[in-house]
Structure 1
């Protein structure tokens, strides 16, 4: 288990999404509704729903909005959302995986394909890039819960497989801890960690690249525009990539 490696957020700049609060609430509500519809409407009895509710709380989503999303599923008023995965290549052949919850596959596929085409990439077939990623569970904590040693010790005790910590250097880069686990043990490990570190910022299934690609200054602008465009789509829940961006290259974006 590696406990002292710095990490780059492969989901792009979280702060950029935080500013789009209304759109973010819509995505969170959709995940809560789907989770409640697939299992029991009680977060204590439904691990996926608990994770969705915790994620909503981290984003300061009002309790009324959370309960309304749960009730929507319980009363049978929810749309029939389908989980869909898209795979493609961004500029310079960077591998991108897009996960969506949609009630209209044609609309979502068209939007995703257009985003790739307009930003130096192309949409591929299912399986085109996922072979270069591992399907794992990811538990995220802010840096303020403790230093690297504290989180590493807690993760080992809970049964995690890997920890990547970045203690940050201020408001612009608050850092955080990424704790990687097997898919099957995700919610069990999350429960054990919660006893020591409190509620996590995120508990979810993730795509972790087996190898990463360093992005240069000529490519980063187009890549970030592609990621932003995808993340802004109402149907898209998450975007994963095999890219690594240095602080120096990121600064060229201004």
Structure 2
């Protein structure tokens, strides 16, 4: 169950998320409202809403913002959003899965296609890359949560399937249907996680060189800046050396 995994959900350039905090809060609010509409408006009885609220708390989204998003669903306010997934390829043959919540599918498709084509990528057909990924639960803890042995023991007792730890923190994987239960058990043992979500985990990773990595990460940044794009997943592997160089620029 132990082992080192370089997989991550676009944890790249330093400060990238800080610069997009307002947009990030907006996207999280959208997900919370949609989650609350698809089930009970109580996180304790709605696993998807609980995951959305946990993700919002992990980036210090104010409690008032979270509650407003839930109340909006209860009052049947706001636009109706559709979940649309796009698949395609980035520089170096990297596979990308782009998850969106949109109230206008034509606009979102046009925007995603344009961003991809202008930044070294191209869209594929539905299913063109997702067959190389597994839909799983993903839980992330900071290094301060404890030693690798402590987190490993807690993860095993909680029923997780895999864990990887390094100096940056701990990544824990679960079966998709077990995410809610495992995250709840880990919260009791380790405290609140940095991230709890459903993820796309690649079966094979693609190594990219410095030039490809720079173009790829720019492409991902551009996609994430679009209001309708919620999450971008990829099967890329960027070496620590290249990442440090890009972070220094």
- Indicate the TM-score class for this superposition, using the shorter chain for normalisation: over 0.9
Partner of 1:223: 216
Distance in 2, Cα, partners of 1:249 & 1:214: 11
Matches within 5 A, 1:146-185: 146-167=146-167, 175-185=168-178
Partner of 1:102: 102
- Cα distance, 1:6–1:217 mapped onto 2, change above 3 Å: same
Normalised by the length of structure 2, the TM-score is 0.95
Normalised by the length of structure 1, the TM-score is 0.93
**8 Å CA contact retained: 1:98, 1:239:** yes
Distance in 1, Cα, partners of 2:79 & 2:209: 42
**8 Å CA contact retained: 2:139, 2:195:** yes
CA deviations over 1:122-164 (Å, ceiling 9, x no partner): 1001101011111111111111111111111001011110001
Partner of 1:56: 56
Distance apart, 1:6 and its partner CA: 4.7
Distance apart, 1:12 and its partner CA: 3.3
Does the alignment pair 1:89 with 2:82? no
The answer to which structure has the higher helix fraction is 2
Distance in 2, Cα, partners of 1:231 & 1:147: 32
Matches within 5 A, 1:233-244: 233-244=226-237
Distance in 2, Cα, partners of 1:243 & 1:44: 35
Does the alignment pair 1:252 with 2:245? yes
Does the alignment pair 1:13 with 2:12? yes
Partner of 2:45: 45
Partner of 2:179: 186
- Cα distance, 1:115–1:12 mapped onto 2, change above 3 Å: farther
Distance in 2, Cα, partners of 1:84 & 1:164: 30
Distance in 1, Cα, partners of 2:206 & 2:221: 19
Distance in 1, Cα, partners of 2:217 & 2:174: 28
Distance in 2, Cα, partners of 1:116 & 1:12: 19
Distance in 1, Cα, partners of 2:238 & 2:7: 7
Q: How large is the Cα RMSD of the aligned pairs?
A: 1.3
Distance in 1, Cα, partners of 2:39 & 2:225: 28
**8 Å CA contact retained: 2:83, 2:100:** yes
Partner of 2:206: 213
Greater mean alpha carbon deviation, residues 243-252 or residues 73-82: 243-252
**8 Å CA contact retained: 1:139, 1:204:** yes
Distance apart, 1:8 and its partner CA: 4.4
**8 Å CA contact retained: 2:12, 2:217:** no
Distance in 2, Cα, partners of 1:140 & 1:91: 27
Matches within 5 A, 1:189-204: 189-204=182-197
Distance apart, 1:88 and its partner CA: 0.2
Runs (4+) of structure 1 moved beyond 4 Å? none
**8 Å CA contact retained: 1:41, 1:49:** yes
